[in-house]
Structure 1
Amino acid sequence: MLPRLRASLRPVSTSSPSLALRSMATAGKGGIEASMRAKLQEALKPATLNIRNDSAKHAHHAAMAAQGGGNGETHFFVEIVSEAFEGKTQIARHRSINSLLSREFDEGLHALSLRTKTPAEVQKEQERMRGA
């Protein structure tokens, strides 16, 4: 059973709906990731949305081991660039995302690492990198 569990917990990074569908097939149900993607796209209309399933890195943690490694969708990294973040602090951005994903937390999402930016922040960052 352990090899099958490891295969279902493979880290996944998707940036398009077709890849998301393939990810669902290779990473178990994919229900939480697909739901997260749909909600974030609808509510925030992001210019960039990258979701990476980091659950395999955490399957050995005590809380996840007690659940048999979780459902393979417990820990995610989300990078999102959206105009909806204009004028909002980082904490306000994170709170809005956590609120949007409250059902997913109820269904097994355990941890969410967020990188939230506006298009203007990304542009400023790119200009700074070019100037360095």
Structure 2
Amino acid sequence: MTDTTEQLRQRLQSLEPHSLKITDESHLHAGHAGNTGGKHYRILIVSDAFQGLGLLQRHRLVYDSVGSLMQSHIHALSIQAKTPAESGLDS
């Protein structure tokens, strides 16, 4: 696990996730135009914090939690943000 992956995991704890999967997909984007060194990540996060929120509001919560990592360590972030009911975790 990379330092950035661990930092992502720590920062996303503020959303009290039931489940959190972080995948570093940087190898799929090697040499990608416009990338100044940040990595590409895919996140699947399940949290009660997303209850009643639309897609943009959910993504904003994630971006707010990630904070300054987006300015230096992360070039791209693909987000799947679900409630426990949407993920099947509450059944």
TM-score between the two structures when normalised by the length of structure 2: 0.87
4+ runs deviating over 2 angstroms: none
Aligned length: 90
Structure-2 residue corresponding to 1:51: 22
Counting strand residues as a fraction of each chain, which structure ranks higher?
A: 2
Q: Which runs of 5+ in 2 are unaligned?
A: none
Residue 33 (structure 1) shift: 1.2
Residue 62 (structure 1) shift: 2.0
TM-score between the two structures when normalised by the length of structure 1: 0.62
Q: Which has the larger radius of gyration?
A: 1
Residue 120 (structure 1) shift: 1.1
The code of the aligned residue for 2:11 comes to K
Q: Which runs of 5+ in 1 are unaligned?
A: 1-22, 24-29, 128-132
Structure-1 residue corresponding to 2:63: 98
Counting helix residues as a fraction of each chain, which structure ranks higher?
A: 1
The code of the aligned residue for 1:60 comes to G
Q: CA RMSD in A?
A: 1.8
Counterpart Cα distance in 2 of 1:97 and 1:77: 12
The code of the aligned residue for 1:32 comes to T
SS of the equivalent of 2:56 reads helix
- 5 Å-filtered alignment, 1:5-44, equals 23=1, 30-41=2-13, 43-44=14-15
Higher RCO (CA 8 Å, separation ≥ 6 residues):
2
SS of the equivalent of 2:74 reads coil
1:88 to 31, 39, 53: 53
Residue 90 (structure 1) shift: 1.1
